[in-house]
Amino acid sequence: MSAGERLPGTMQPMHRWRGAGGLWIAGDAWGDPRHPLVILLHGGGQTRHAWKGTGRALGAAGYHAVAFDARGHGDSEWANDGMYSQDVTVQDLRCVVQALGDGPCILVGASMGGGTSLVAAAERSVGARALVLVDIAPRIETKGIEHIRAFMRRNPDGFASLEEVADAIASYQPHRARPANLLGLAKNVRQRANGRLYWHWDPRFLLGHRDLVRRQQRLEECARALTIPTLLVRGAHSDVLSDEGVAQFKALAPHSEFVSIASAGHMVAGDRNDAFGDAVLEFLGRTLPSGARAGDRLQPAQGHRVRQYPDLEDIP
């Protein structure tokens, strides 16, 4: 199952791997496969394209960066059974890592992808050697999450044009400049037989009961169990990860580091791509230098480091 047909001119995925239950997972990669592996996991409603700038920067810096569409998103298949639990996304990650050689990896996860990364690293589903969490922690603000889910529930009947798609995005992210070229939005939608455009994700992703209390308890246990170098990145204007959520995470994982990205909201990499990339590369440069081989030993992080990045020009 899928949302429909990709619009002409949109990028084909570079790779496909089998995820849990044989479901196809689509992904892109940058850099030399012999270099340290960095897996990039996007948030709910996003795709692997959210990491394009970061992936290119990591590849140029001497890492092997891999981003993939979560099941039910982008060019990955939809789940026949409609199951999109955290456990199954962890299994998908495990399958991708195995397909890439089952070696050690660095996990960079935003929002939903961050929760998957934290569980996979702490519960040792994969051999994670460093972790970057992007605007996500065990404690999150329900108001911010509902804001995201409300946007994803809108427009169930699709759109007549990319202009309408741009209007919907502008209403959700008014702080971002409206793109001059709407063709860049084509990768976010699929066209069905009726000619209308629909978001790339499976609407069933939004269904089902989520036990947020149990989720928080599990992620707290995972945060306590972390021993690998860990960086928490927050958008300074995020409505999902609060100052209190950051403080709790730092108490649970005292060895972790923290970076605040100025003038960024929950979509940190999209709002301030250069500053975000700089923060990740600086962190990895101290924990696993890009000149190292995949099997080299990581050095532990040294206490909390808090940095505030200045405003940068918006990247549409």
Residue 43 pLDDT exceeds 90? yes
Q: Is the pLDDT of residue 294 over 80?
A: no
User: From the CB of residue 199, how many other CB atoms can be counted at a distance below 10 Å?
Assistant: 21
For residues 256 and 231, state if they share a domain: yes
Check residue 126 and give left, alpha or beta (phi > 0: left; psi -120 to 50: alpha): beta
Q: What is the span of the domain harbouring residue 197?
A: 145-201
CATH code: domain of residue 49: 3.40.50.1820
Instruction: Tell me what the mean pLDDT of segment 161-182 comes to.
Output: 89
Q: What is the reported pLDDT for 207?
A: 86
pTM of the predicted structure, to 2 decimals: 0.90
DSSP annotation string for 123-144: TTSS-EEEEEEES--SS--HHH
Q: What pLDDT, on the 0 to 100 scale, is given for residue 209?
A: 62
Give me the mean pLDDT over the 179-189 stretch.
Answer: 90
- Token pair, residue 22, equals 């044989």
Gap between the Cα atoms of 213 and 94, Å rounded: 25
pLDDT of residue 110: 97
Residues 83 and 212 in one domain: yes
Task: Give the dihedral sign, CA 191/192/195/201.
Answer: negative
Q: What percent of the chain has pLDDT over 90?
A: 78
Beta carbons within 8 Å of 201's beta carbon, 6+ residues apart: 3, 44, 45, 72, 73, 74, 152
Q: What pLDDT, on the 0 to 100 scale, is given for residue 127?
A: 97
Assess whether 176 and 287 both reside in one domain. Answer: no
20 and 121 co-located in one domain: yes
pLDDT at residue 176 in the model: 78
Calculate mean pLDDT across residues 121-130: 98
Number of structural domains (the chain) is 2
pLDDT, tens digit (0-9, with 9 covering 90-100), for 7-24: 998 999 999 999 999 999
Distance CA 81, CA 171 (A): 32
Are 55 and 192 members of one domain? no
Looking at the chain, the whole-number percentage of residues with pLDDT higher than 70 is: 91
